[in-house]
Amino acid sequence: MKSLFKSFDFDKKDIDTYFLLLSAPLLLTLYICYGQAKDFTTYFPQYTGHQLEGYYGQIYQFISFFILMFIIPFLYLKLKMKKPLIEFGLGLGDWKFGLIICLITIPFIIIPFTYSGTRMSDIQNVYPMARVLLDRHDLILQYELVYIIFYYIAWEFFFRGFLLFGLKDRFGAMNAILIQTISSCLIHIGKPDGEIIGSIIFGIIMGVIAIRTKSFWYPLLIHLTMGVLTDIFIIYLK
């Protein structure tokens, strides 16, 4: 058995690295297989046929994502690695540079780009993911808040925090950026083609910003702005 591990260059000192690398396919697979909106009525059959079935299903999806991509990695950091969370992008980092980036990119790049994308029929057919929002505007605020807290924060924490900062010392910043980009791109499979392709470019840029600022909060602000405005533009300006 020892010779087997030796032939694969297994090192107990790298156990955290192995967990970080395996967490992406493992947690994302669990999310895709069991955490989607379509799975909601499997576990809560009493809501089958309910007028808000799709809405509740989407909330279920966001909460599932939060448990898998935030709670589990967070517990691993606290209980196993026992490292300061600030080392994984939870601090404000270089907040001056981060704010400058956000103030430049959001109004001059993100908002125009997002509006342009929402004019495309394939994007309009997917967003908002809770289709009932097209008619039930009274649900928009609470939906978007859940979207931000349980989905976007978990997303950035996992990809641009846990994975990126957890792997950069072992593989280098650029390799870590590419690893988290590969993982975040794969979760877009099934989305419109432009969104899948864009996720590659976006993932690299957001990774660079996270590394430069030593924080995932600035990529988070940019990312959630794009996501929330996509819904708002489609709902009100379609």
**What pLDDT, on the 0 to 100 scale, is given for residue 168?**
97
Q: In this structure, what DSSP letter does residue 48 have?
A: T
Q: 65, 35 in Cβ contact below 8 A?
A: yes
**What pLDDT, on the 0 to 100 scale, is given for residue 101?**
98
Domain ranges of the chain: 14-237
Which residue in 87, 110, 107, 104 sits closest to 210, CA to CA? 87
Considering only CA atoms, give the Rg of the chain.
Answer: 19
Q: For all residues of the chain together, what is the average pLDDT?
A: 95
What is the crossing angle of helices 173-186 and 15-34, to 10°?
Answer: 20
Question: For residue 8, is pLDDT > 80?
Answer: no
Digit-coded pLDDT (tens) for 98-127: 999 999 999 999 999 999 999 999 999 999
Taking the C-alpha atoms of residue 156 and residue 163, their distance in angstroms, rounded to an integer, is 10
**What pLDDT, on the 0 to 100 scale, is given for residue 9?**
72
Taking the C-alpha atoms of residue 233 and residue 238, their distance in angstroms, rounded to an integer, is 7
**What pLDDT, on the 0 to 100 scale, is given for residue 118?**
96
Digit-coded pLDDT (tens) for 165-224: 999 999 999 999 999 999 999 999 899 999 999 999 999 999 999 999 999 999 999 999
Q: Averaged over 22-36, what is the pLDDT?
A: 97
Task: Sort 213 into a burial class: Cβ within 10 Å, 0-12 / 13-18 / 19+.
Answer: buried
**What pLDDT, on the 0 to 100 scale, is given for residue 2?**
57
**What pLDDT, on the 0 to 100 scale, is given for residue 176?**
98
pLDDT category at 5 given cuts 50, 70, 90 is low
Task: Tell which wins on pLDDT, 5 or 131.
Answer: 131
Token match 């994984």: residue? 88
- The pTM (predicted TM-score) of the whole model is 0.94
Question: For residue 14, is pLDDT > 90?
Answer: no
